[in-house]
Amino acid sequence: MTDVRPLDGITVVSLEQAVAAPFATRQLADLGARVIKIERPGGGDFARRYDTTVHGHSSYFVWLNRSKESLSLDVKDERGRAVLGQLLGQADVFVSNLAPGAAARLGLSPEEVTAAHPRLIPCTISGYGTSGPWSDRKAYDLLVQCQTGLVSLTGTDDESARAGVSVADIAAGMYAYSGVLTALFTRATTGVARPVEVSLFEALAEWMGQPAYYTAHAGTQPPRLGTQHPTIAPYGAYTAADGKEVLFSIQNEREWAALCAEFLEDPALTDDPRFATSSARVQHRAELNAVVAERFARSGSEDIIGTLDRIGVACAGVNSVAEFLAHPVLSGRDRWRDVGVPGASVRALLPPVDIAGTSARMDPVPAPGEHTADILGELGHSADAVEALRADGVV
């Protein structure tokens, strides 16, 4: 492995908070970019206070902010904005996910930023876009899950549910990340720095593509079925005799025949008119589920998984998070690394993309304002000047 990383030499300044923008910039930091995270003096990113479960730190913040430098800066103060201007003059990318209209009020709209710094790539992450009828509305992850219809698809027949992770934030963060990479490539090949904009709503709308097409052309949306699949059967989790759920999926008629003969132990089911085709199995899902559930009740989960594996039917135990943390794939592929947090260290997973010949950056999670004096010193501010700004609450 070499110490050279793909984004070494790239500087990202991020006026970020919560999840979406920090998720995007952490991916950039993983690849070697220098990410300077601007935080409010006196408290920093409010995601630091979402919880205190990781050695007194927020699980969200620890997940999203490793390998960054923290600069305390009041950008509402003109002296703070002057410091920000110095930073942007030396940066390659400027990421922000401020409240609606806040960037424009601070003179930090993409138009103003690019006019002052033509080689800078601004990336704006918003809730519903910076134009249009909802541009002034605040947006949080679950609100966007509701607005895109995702919540109406998630849960059981009796009750809808949120997705268990912040999917709207993660979707927006990933599109911001790929958008920034694309803009960096465009700048490198054409010399033109193009602004990037992503909204939580439009990012999650893209992920809703399949149910959107289904609903538009079927006249009804896919039903909520818990772990069952709305258009494939059998495909879902069933409870084994030992109480553990095992999920399996039948994808084709060969697998269906093998399931009938070697797991359900009733080859005649293969050609039963109720179950002979995929659409028939979906139509008669309740009857099919009763057959599968009865078979599951006769064996433990390990035996069921062993049999399904042997006959080539994809399956998996429905793990708890604790079981996921102990997963043999993560340990067997050496995916864990130690990462520092203020006052302690934690295990963290390597980024999912491996790039041959390089190693991911896995540096500590910063304390609030930890790098303020060093960064200001790089910009030419004397120690006395930094103390004066600190005394006035600007940093």
Asked if residues 72 and 368 have their Cβ atoms less than 8 Å apart, the reply is yes
pLDDT of residue 233: 92
19/173 Cα distance (integer angstroms): 8
Boundaries of every domain in the chain: 11-208+355-391, 235-317
pLDDT tens column, 250-273? 999 999 999 999 999 999 999 999
Lowest mean pLDDT among 81-90, 101-110, 111-120, 368-377: 101-110
Which residues neighbour 363 within 8 Å (Cβ) at sequence distance 6 or greater? 29, 66, 67, 339, 340
Q: What is the pLDDT of residues 310-353, one digit of tens each?
A: 999 999 999 999 999 999 999 999 999 999 999 999 999 999 99
Which DSSP letter does residue 49 get? G
Give the model confidence (pLDDT) of 202-211 as tens digits.
Answer: 999 999 999 9
* Mean pLDDT for the stretch of residues 275-285: 93
Percent of the chain exceeding pLDDT 70 equals: 99
Q: Which segments within 4-146 are labelled E, that is strand?
A: 11-15, 34-39, 68-72, 93-96, 121-126
Length of the chain: 395
- Give the Cα separation of 116 and 85 in Å (integer): 9
Helix axes 167-190, 200-207, angle to 10 degrees: 100
Which residue is it, tokens 């993983």? 30
Q: What is the mean pLDDT of the chain?
A: 94
Q: What CA–CA distance (Å, rounded) separates 264 from 248?
A: 13
Question: Contact at 8 Å (CB) between 253 and 306?
Answer: no
End-to-end CA distance of the chain: 38
DSSP 154: S
Residue 123 has pLDDT above 90, yes or no: yes
Mean pLDDT of 190-197: 96
Residue percentage of the chain with pLDDT more than 90? 91
Tell me: the pLDDT tens digits for 295-314?
Answer: 999 999 999 999 999 999 99
Question: Can you tell me whether residue 95 is helix, strand or coil?
Answer: strand
Mean pLDDT of 168-191: 97
- DSSP-derived secondary structure letter, 47: G
What is the pLDDT, as a whole number, of residue 157? Answer: 87
From edge to edge, which strands make up the β-sheet containing 196-199? Answer: 68-72, 34-39, 11-15, 93-96, 121-126, 196-199
Tokens of 216: 């538009």
DSSP 58-92: -HHHHHH-TTEEEEE--TTSHHHHHHHHHHHHH-S
- pLDDT for 4: 87
pLDDT of 348 reads: 97
pTM over cut 0.85: yes
**pLDDT > 80? residue 2:** no
Tell me which fold the domain 11-208+355-391 belongs to: Rossmann fold (3.40.50)
Whether 379 shows a pLDDT value over 90: the answer reads yes
Peptide bond into 222 cis (omega under 30): no
Give the mean pLDDT of 6-23.
96
Write the class of the CATH domain 235-317.
alpha beta
Q: Is the pLDDT of residue 169 over 90?
A: yes
pLDDT at 1 over 70: no
